[in-house]
Amino acid sequence: MAQLTQFPQAFSAPAQQSWISNLLWWLMLLSSAGVVVYATRYFVALPSDAHFARYILPLRLHIAGGIGALLAGPWQFSQKLRARALNLHRWLGRFYLLEVALGSIAGFFMALVSKRGLPTHLGFGILAVLWFFTGLQAYRMVRQGNIDAHRQWMIRNFALTLAAVTLRVQLPFMMAVLHWPFPRAYITVSWLCWVPNLLIAEWMVRRRMRHLVRSTS
């Protein structure tokens, strides 16, 4: 499923293998790993927040799905892995999409009980629905043998997976640097953690599509 540097490569011409592409991939990998390390604390002890502790089972299921997706996701965009170990690429892809399904379903439940009411219910809820839907589309396309469409949906899907990263950058920034109160920051981040990601992913997909059209015309 999806080639690597396919994700970062969308920032440059598809024929180029620049150091920028490698840098972006490593940034994606290391930031994902950092969030994974941070998230494991929820399996060591109950969260101090009473609200999260109350819903610890769906919270842990959501986190487990996110951890699996963050660990497997970057490697789905590895051109070298796909070329050298196609079966491993496929099995990692299956694992990734199963983790997305787990994380999104549990995440949808957590969105319904999220703090700050309707704004966060909608923000995190729509994220969960789109995360599941784009993963389902990626699976459907690869089953149909439409590899180009599969890669496009994988780019969209992993952009949503990376909401776990952007949230953990944005929320502390809003509170520590902008000095926003938690309710304002939490409501804002329930949308800001994923909407820009998805817009950038869509720009990347469409930019590559235009390049392919030009190269074949």
- The pLDDT of residue 11 is 38
Q: How confident is the model at residue 78 (pLDDT cuts 50, 70, 90)?
A: confident
Spatial CA neighbour of 120 closest among 163, 184, 58, 57: 184
Spatial CA neighbour of 197 closest among 156, 169, 168: 156
Q: How confident is the model at residue 9 (pLDDT cuts 50, 70, 90)?
A: very low
> Does residue 142 contact residue 151 with C-beta atoms inside 8 Å?
no
- The pLDDT of residue 14 is 42
Distance between CA 2 and CA 111 in Å, rounded? 29
pLDDT, mean of residues 198-213? 86
Q: Which of 83-87, 102-106, 145-149 has the highest mean pLDDT?
A: 102-106
> Does residue 167 contact residue 193 with C-beta atoms inside 8 Å?
yes
pLDDT, mean of residues 115-124? 95
- For 79-100, write each residue's pLDDT tens digit: 888 889 999 999 999 999 999 9
In the chain, where are the structural domains located?
A: 6-216
Distance between CA 73 and CA 161 in Å, rounded? 8
Number of helices (H) and strands (E), helices first, in the chain?
A: 11, 0
**CB-count burial class (<10 Å; 0-12, 13-18, 19+) for 45:** exposed
Q: How confident is the model at residue 208 (pLDDT cuts 50, 70, 90)?
A: confident
Rg value, the chain, Cα: 18
Packing angle, helices 147-161 and 56-76, rounded to 10:
130
% of the chain at pLDDT higher than 90: 74
Place of tokens 């994380």: 103
pLDDT tops 70 at residue 16: no
pTM: 0.87
- For 152-205, write each residue's pLDDT tens digit: 999 999 999 999 999 999 999 999 999 999 999 999 999 999 999 999 999 989
Distance between CA 138 and CA 3 in Å, rounded? 13
- The pLDDT of residue 17 is 52
Handedness of CA 172, 174, 180, 181 (dihedral sign): negative
pLDDT tops 80 at residue 40: yes
Question: How far, in Å, are 2, 85, 160 from residue 195 at the CA level?
Answer: 22, 34, 8
pLDDT tops 50 at residue 12: no
Place of tokens 């926003």: 180
Kindly state the DSSP code that residue 186 receives in the 8-state scheme: H
Q: How confident is the model at residue 109 (pLDDT cuts 50, 70, 90)?
A: very high
- The pLDDT of residue 215 is 66
